[in-house]
Every structure is written in structure tokens, then in C-alpha cells.
């Protein structure tokens, strides 16, 4: 069952690379939150009770509900256009993402042969997710899609931590979640301010900012 969830998680990243709809990105983040929650439940044997409760709340409550709802509210409040406006056609984005995941599976194969305490499929898909998140950031024009790319990277880091059996320390989870909330909060302020000054929320607008 866990392998199926990891495969679906990977498919969501391929879907993101193929679509240009901003709201589709947000829905993908919600789906990823639910997938991570289910993965945590299936992995409960390796986790302490307190850690399990925290991770369940983090994935289901924050990643799957609160953050997507806040992002959707921000998009609609600021009348952000539905197009993510990539620098390249979706076809090439899908090809690059597919190549990234092929590399991730090579990493998984290497991990299965050289690291006994690492779960290969978790490890490979998490590495591919992190790289794909970086690709989303550098290949999209809108500021808000950059933030969503950052959240996808954080989801990849979360899965990377799960790839090491029993290694999900509470302090690391708290630190990552704090960074994520700081980024989302600043996004709300930043997007609102930029939108009140410029007509479009492109990264090109940042070149016009002055002290």
C-alpha cells in the first residue's frame, strides 16, 4: 500500500509539470498532504506515539487543509490569473520531470545496494520531488508558484526523513514547519503589497522594486 501511495505522489509531481493552472497546483498540495498523512499512518510502527500524533496533525491539518485553503484565499483575493505561465512549453516540462524521476529511481537502486537503513523507494522519490520543486521554481514566472514549489520541496524533505527508518525527530519537524509557516505568512503580505503596486505578480516585477 505504501508503494502505491509513493507512486501516486510521484504522479502528482508529473501532473504539476504538465499543467499551467495555479489552482491545480494548490489542489496538488492538498492531495500530497493527504498522501503524506496516510504514509505516516502506515508507518506508525516506526514512530513514537507523540511523534505520530504531531506528524498526523502536521500532514492532515496543515499540509492538506490549512495551507491549501490559505493559498486559495490569497489567489482569489488578489485576482491572480489562473495561468502559472511557465518559461517553457508543458511538453518539455514533463520530459524534464520524467528525466528527474528516472534519476530518482537510479538513486533508489543505488540506495538499495549501499544503504541498509534507507528505504529505497522513499529515498528516490523524495530526491526527485526536491529536484522537481526546484525546477518548478526556476521555470515558472508567477511569484506564488515559486512559493508552492518551495512547499513541494518541503514535502520532499518530509518524505526524505521518512526514508530513514525511525529517524523523524520532533525538533526537526517543528523547525521545518516553522519555516514553512513563516514563508506562507510572508507570502500573504508580499503578494498583497506587490499586487497593490503592479498589475501582474510576475518575478519580472521584482526588478522594479526600490528601497
Mean pLDDT score across all residues of the chain? 77
CA distances from residue 184 to 105, 141, 175 in whole angstroms, order as listed: 31, 18, 14
pLDDT at 35 over 90: yes
Residue 199 has pLDDT above 80, yes or no: no
CA R_g for the chain: 17
pLDDT at residue 150, rounded to an integer: 84
Closest by Cα among 19, 22, 17, 18 to 201: 22
pLDDT in tens, 52-68: 787 788 788 888 988 88
52, 71 Cβ separation under 8 angstroms: no
Q: Which cell goes with 102?
A: 528516472
pLDDT in tens, 77-90: 777 766 656 677 77
Q: Are 60 and 33 in contact (CB under 8 A)?
A: yes
Average pLDDT of span 114-138: 86
- Please state which of the ranges 103-107, 108-112, 158-162, 171-175 shows the lowest mean pLDDT: 171-175
How do the domains of the chain map onto residue ranges?
Answer: 2-208
**Which among 20-34, 102-116, 142-156 has the top mean pLDDT?**
20-34
pLDDT digits (tens, 9 = 90+) for 9-30: 999 999 998 887 888 899 999 9
Amino acid at each position: 500500500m505504501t508503494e502505491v501511495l509513493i507512486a501516486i505522489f510521484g504522479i502528482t509531481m508529473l501532473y504539476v509539470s504538465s499543467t499551467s493552472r495555479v489552482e491545480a497546483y494548490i489542489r496538488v498540495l492538498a492531495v500530497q498532504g493527504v498522501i503524506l498523512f496516510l504514509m505516516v499512518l502506515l508507518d506508525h510502527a516506526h514512530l513514537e506515539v507523540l511523534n505520530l500524533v504531531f506528524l498526523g496533525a502536521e500532514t492532515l491539518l496543515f499540509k492538506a487543509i490549512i495551507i491549501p485553503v490559505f493559498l486559495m484565499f490569497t489567489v482569489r483575493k488578489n485576482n491572480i490569473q489562473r495561468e502559472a505561465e511557465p518559461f517553457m512549453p508543458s511538453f518539455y516540462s514533463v520530459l524534464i520531470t520524467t528525466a528527474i524521476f528516472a534519476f530518482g529511481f537510479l538513486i533508489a537502486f543505488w540506495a538499495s545496494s549501499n544503504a541498509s537503513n534507507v528505504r529505497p523507494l522513499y529515498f528516490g522519490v523524495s530526491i526527485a520531488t526536491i529536484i522537481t520543486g526546484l525546477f518548478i521554481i526556476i521555470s515558472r514566472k508567477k511569484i506564488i508558484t515559486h512559493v508552492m514549489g518551495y512547499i513541494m520541496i518541503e514535502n520532499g524533505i518530509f518524505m526524505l526523513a521518512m526514508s530513514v527508518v525511525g529517524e523523524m525527530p520532533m525538533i526537526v519537524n517543528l523547525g521545518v514547519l516553522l519555516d514553512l509557516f513563516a514563508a506562507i505568512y510572508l507570502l500573504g503580505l508580499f503578494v498583497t503589497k506587490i499586487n497593490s503596486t503592479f498589475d501582474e505578480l510576475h518575478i519580472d516585477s521584482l526588478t522594479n522594486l526600490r528601497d
